[in-house]
């Protein structure tokens, strides 16, 4: 039981990170019905912003987190305006190819600036409690609580604010909504800013939990977060949260009770099985086709 509880805590930590990244995928899809395949690389850029703030600027945890989120949010808005906005009415495959190209550009640009793996200094006190034989670190508690807090804040914004109402309206019909006075471009930019800032927060917390970062770290993690978004129901905010925790639990328990080499296989097999039996995800719903 002690081992199970320890692995459950690890699953919550990893699932929190996956859920934050998955929210970026699901927000962009909900607004524009496109998959931002560069989102995993924006997570990587957030980790490098954390490195710059912690190592070069000597900032503490809170300013480092805020700088990373703000920097990646600005980058996300620039990518949307320069790369995705001209393709809104283009065939969907054009946006997909562009998103993949943006991701490759971010990887190689970061590689050109810093080709070596970097380590993040310890910004959080190394405090570990022993609760009934389970080791609980202050960093794990911080990651879980901060991630849940950001998720609840996002859920409040989407469901209880005018900005969230505009996002939901554009998601329903982005052709009619601008005629009602909703600033389409501004709301889409805010969506990208919020989604990418959550990915940056995930990158900052991941770089503190696993303190070695490199320019290619966002590829596999980005794909897994995409799996989490699809499992929960792509386009559904709460579904992305649930999918992130499910994927984190699957990976941790497969590695803990089986072999660690099987966890990627099981993660992608989960996506395949779900797409066969429930193609819209756990909380997802089929979109009505307007004819």
The string of pLDDT tens digits covering residues 49-63 is 999 999 999 999 999
Residue 245: inside a domain: yes
Residue 284: inside a domain: no
CB 26 within 8 A of CB 225: no
Residue 262: inside a domain: yes
Q: Checking DSSP bridges between strand 134-137 and strand 128-131, what pairing results, if any?
A: antiparallel
For the chain, the average pLDDT equals: 89
- CATH number, residue 258: 1.10.3470
Q: Residue 118: beta bridge partners?
A: 213
Q: Which residue range(s) make up the domain with 188?
A: 2-277
Task: Give the helix/strand (H/E) hosting 145.
Answer: helix 138-160
Highest mean pLDDT among 73-82, 108-117, 260-269: 73-82
Residue 236: inside a domain: yes
- pLDDT score recorded for residue 291: 52
Q: Tokens 């799996």 label which residue? A: 227
Residue 92: inside a domain: yes
Residue 289: inside a domain: no
285: left (phi over 0), alpha (psi -120 to 50) or beta: beta
**CA angle, corner 235, sides to 196 and 226, nearest 5?**
60
Residue 286: inside a domain: no
Residue 290 has pLDDT above 60, yes or no: no
- pLDDT score recorded for residue 280: 84
Q: How confident is the model at residue 171 (pLDDT cuts 50, 70, 90)?
A: confident
**How many structural domains are present in the chain?**
1
Global pTM exceeds 0.75: yes
Residue 115: inside a domain: yes
Q: Report d(CA 277, CA 98) in Å as an integer.
A: 31
């Amino acid at each position: 039981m002690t081992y199970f509880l320890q692995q459950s805590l690890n699953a919550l930590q990893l699932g929190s990170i996956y859920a934050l990244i998955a929210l970026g995928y699901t927000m962009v899809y909900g607004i524009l019905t496109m998959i931002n395949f560069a989102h995993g690389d924006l997570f990587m850029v957030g980790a490098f912003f954390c490195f710059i703030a912690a190592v070069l600027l000597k900032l503490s945890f809170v300013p480092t987190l805020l700088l990373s989120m703000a920097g990646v949010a600005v980058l996300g808005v620039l990518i949307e305006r320069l790369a995705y906005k001209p393709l809104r009415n283009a065939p969907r495959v054009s946006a997909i190819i562009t998103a993949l190209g943006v991701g490759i550009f971010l990887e190689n640009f970061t590689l050109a600036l810093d080709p070596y793996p970097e380590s993040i200094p310890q910004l959080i006190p190394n405090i570990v409690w022993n609760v009934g034989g389970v080791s609980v670190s202050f960093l794990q508690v911080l990651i879980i609580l901060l991630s849940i807090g950001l998720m609840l804040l996002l859920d409040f914004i989407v469901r209880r604010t005018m900005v969230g109402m505009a996002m939901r309206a554009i998601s329903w019909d982005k052709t009619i909504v601008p005629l009602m006075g909703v600033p389409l471009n501004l709301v889409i930019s805010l969506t990208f800013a919020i989604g990418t800032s959550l990915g940056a927060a995930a990158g900052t917390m991941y770089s503190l939990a696993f303190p070695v970062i490199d320019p290619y770290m966002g590829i596999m993690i980005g794909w897994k977060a995409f799996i989490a978004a699809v499992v929960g129901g792509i386009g559904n905010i709460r579904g992305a949260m649930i999918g992130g925790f499910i994927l984190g639990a699957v990976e941790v328990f497969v590695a803990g009770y089986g072999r660690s080499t099987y966890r990627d296989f099981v993660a992608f097999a989960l996506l395949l099985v779900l797409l066969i039996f429930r193609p819209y995800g756990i909380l997802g719903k089929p979109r009505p086709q307007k004819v």
